[in-house]
Amino acid sequence: MDRDRFWELVDAAREHASEPDEIAAALVELLVKTSAEEIIGVELELNALLSESYRWDLWAAAYLVNGGASADGFDNFRGWLLTRGRAVWETALADPDSLAGVVSEHLPSFLECEDMVCVAVDAYEQVTGDEEGLWAAVEAAAAHIADEEELSFDDPAEMRSRLPRLWALTG
Amino acid sequence: MDIREMIAAERTDLAAVLTGLTERQWDSPTLCAGWRVREVVAHTTMPFRYSGGKFLAELARSGMRFNAMSDRCARRDAAALSSADLVDALAVNVHHPWKPPGGGFAGALSHEVIHGLDYTVALGLDRRVPEERLRAVLDSASGTTARRHFGVDLDGVQLRADDLDWSLGSGAPLTGAAQDLLLVLCGRRLPAGRLAGAVHQLTRGKRSVAG
């Protein structure tokens, strides 16, 4: 699975449907015909796209378009954006304000599609009977990300222990 | 009372409620599908317990989806923390300045009030959210965006409180306590017997909402 293959699948789903929830359902139908391994590949590619798009400027665009956007509302807005296909997605990420040209035909609709961010989870559950294997793969893929610990800059012992040479110079 | 004072007062009141619960009540289901009282409190105290870096790492481990992260962390933390730890996490943070992104302090108040009702109503406790706080949250939840987000369709239904002067929409009346109607607005399924009227005309979103 790679980025091109992910968008090919989205395009194939878009050929079967036009409404966001229908596109998500069509994509799930396509995925259940593949394998659990392929579905995990789609999930990880989706995770990468959600990670790259976790940006304040795009969140601000969602806030304006939908008249507000909570954390899960922003996820679902990006689900809707995924259903618009690769060109719209990539243009929006390059310039969130470009969405003005896309959303004007939908307003005052509410642009969210939770089903689209859950396509791989739903397909995986249909194929294997539960979600456990998929979540284990998601967690393993993020294993290199450590919890970043917050340091107390005004705690001499902590600063000396973390940055001993700089502490010796400046402390 | 300004909004920060209302948030602190609600957290103080809820910490007192939680202090009085038995372990059996802590393990009882709530109106948040799949969560017991301890998962709900683990969820509402998460912003006080997690640094920004930890939040992002947990989000990555959940496929960058907030609802998945909320559920995963609530279940794990509820298993790891004692009831006393959870009460403490709330009690020592009554003045915490957390605001949900895009929600401001009004969003923080809604978060406390709605999730508090998720367990007080489910447990059948006779707690009434003070009117000033309840009205502030009802105002937020009545907006079009909030209603669409929670997937509640009120077409042809009027929510009409029987304990204070508040109504929303027009059509067949659905009556009950204002705080119960707030839960209806948030897509919750209430225990039987709390509402009267057009109960069966409501349609709700298809997925549960943790946030």
- Percent of chain A at pLDDT > 70 equals 99
Nearest chain A residue (CA) to B211 = A72
**CB-based contact B148 A112, cutoff 8 Å:** yes
Residues of A in contact with B211 (CB under 8 A): 70-72
Percent of chain B beyond pLDDT 70? Answer: 96
- Which residue from B175, B173, B180 is spatially nearest to B157, judged by alpha carbons? B173
Residue of B nearest to A122 (CA): B207
Give pLDDT tens digits for A80-134: 999 999 999 999 999 999 999 999 887 777 899 999 999 999 999 999 999 999 9
From the list A36, A35, A48, the residue with the least C-alpha distance to A6 is: A48
**Once rounded to an integer, what is the mean pLDDT over residues A151-159?**
87
The confidence band for B5, taking pLDDT boundaries of 50, 70 and 90, is: very high
3-state SS, one letter per residue, for B4-27: HHHHHHHHHHHHHHHHCCCHHHHC
Measured distance CA(B58)–CA(A86) in Å, rounded: 27
pTM of the model: 0.89
Asked if A54 and B59 come within 8 Å (Cβ–Cβ), the reply is yes
Chain B contact for A15 (CB, 8 A cutoff): no
Tell me whether residues B148 and A149 touch, CB distance under 8 A. Answer: no
Number of other CB atoms surrounding residue A90 within 10 Å: 10
Q: Which of A67, A72, A112 sits opposite B211 (nearest CB)?
A: A72
Which amino acid is residue B168, in one-letter code? L
Distance between the two ends of chain B, CA-based, in angstroms? Answer: 26
Q: At B32, is the secondary structure helix, strand, or coil? A: coil
At A35 the pLDDT is: 96
Average pLDDT value for chain B = 92
Where does the pLDDT of residue A145 fall: very low under 50, low under 70, confident under 90, or very high at 90 and above?
confident
pLDDT of residue B211: 43
Contact A110 B67 (CB under 8 A): no
- In a mutagenesis test of the A interface, which of B139, B145, B153 is the best target, namely the one with the most A β-carbons within 10 Å? B145
Q: What is the mean pLDDT of residues A1-24?
A: 95
pLDDT at B210 over 50: no
β-sheet bridge partners, residue B172: B157
Beta strands in chain B (DSSP E): 157-161, 167-168, 172-176, 196-197
Average pLDDT of the residues in A42-59: 96
B79 alpha-carbon distance from chain centroid: 20
CB contact under 8 A, A148 and B51: yes
Q: Are strands B167-168 and B157-161 parallel, antiparallel or unpaired?
A: antiparallel
The one-letter amino acid code at B47 reads P
Confidence (pLDDT) at B205 = 58
* Chain A to chain B Cβ contacts (< 8 Å): 93
- Output the pLDDT for position A107: 78
Q: Closest CB to B100: pick one of A70, A135, A138.
A: A70
Residues of B in contact with A73 (CB under 8 A): 102, 145, 149
Task: State ipTM.
Answer: 0.85
- Higher-confidence residue of B33 and B86: namely B86
Element (H, E) at B160: strand B157-161
The predicted-structure confidence for B102-160, as pLDDT tens digits, reads as follows: 889 999 999 999 999 999 999 999 999 999 999 999 998 888 777 777 778 888 899 99
